[in-house]
Amino acid sequence: MSTSPAAEVRGSDDPEYANNLRRATLASSVGSALEYYDFALYGLASALIFGQLFFPALGTGAGIAAGFATYAVGFFARPFGGIFFGVLGDKLGRKWVLMATIGLMGGASTLIGVLPTGEQIGIWAPILLVFLRVLQGLGAGAEQAGATTLMAEYAPVRRRGFFSALPFVGIMVGTVLASIVFYLLGLVDQQIVHDWLWRVPFLASILLIAVSVFIRYRLAESPTFVQLEKQEQEQHSPLKEVFTKSFGSVIRGIGLRMAENGGSALYQTLAISFITVYVGVESWVGPLAIAIGATLGVIILPLAGALSDRFGRMPVYRAGVIIQLVLAIPAWWLMSQGNVSVIIPVLALTYTLSINVMLGAQCATLPELFGNRHRYVGVAVSREFSAVLAGGIAPLIGASLLTATTGSWIPLAGYVLLLGAITLWATFVTPETRGRDLTLHGDALSDTAAQIAERPLATVGRS
* Contact in structure between 111 and 63 (CB atoms under 8 Å): no
Percentage of the chain beyond pLDDT 70 is: 87
Give the model's confidence band at 358: pLDDT under 50 very low, under 70 low, under 90 confident, else very high: very high
* Contact in structure between 213 and 103 (CB atoms under 8 Å): yes
pLDDT tens, position by position, 26-44: 777 777 777 778 777 777 7
How far is it, in rounded angstroms, from Cα 453 to Cα 433? 12
pLDDT for the residue numbered 7? 40
pLDDT of residue 303 exceeding 80, the answer is yes
Q: Where are the alpha helices (DSSP H) in 188-284?
A: 190-192, 199-203, 205-217, 223-230, 238-245, 247-265, 271-273
Region 325-339: mean pLDDT is 95
pLDDT for the residue numbered 14? 60
Cα–Cα distance list, 436 to 181, 191, 251 (Å): 41, 55, 19
Region 182-200: mean pLDDT is 77
* Contact in structure between 370 and 378 (CB atoms under 8 Å): yes
pTM, two decimal places:
0.77
How far is it, in rounded angstroms, from Cα 301 to Cα 361? 8
Structural domains of the chain, with CATH: 17-220+237-431 (1.20.1250.20)
pLDDT for the residue numbered 55? 72
Q: How many residues does the chain have?
A: 463
Which of 152, 171, 236, 142 is closest to 444 using CA atoms?
A: 152
CA angle 441, 445, 446 (to 5 degrees): 55
Which of 395, 407, 413, 289 is closest to 347 using CA atoms?
A: 289
pLDDT tens, position by position, 78-96: 788 878 877 777 777 677 7
How far is it, in rounded angstroms, from Cα 68 to Cα 51? 9
Q: How many CB atoms lie within 10 A of CB 3?
A: 16
Q: Which amino acid is at 23?
A: R
3-state secondary structure of 456: coil
Region 208-237: mean pLDDT is 66
Q: How many CB atoms lie within 10 A of CB 296?
A: 17
pLDDT tens, position by position, 141-158: 777 777 778 788 888 888
pLDDT tens, position by position, 93-148: 677 777 788 788 888 888 988 888 777 888 888 888 888 888 888 877 777 777 77
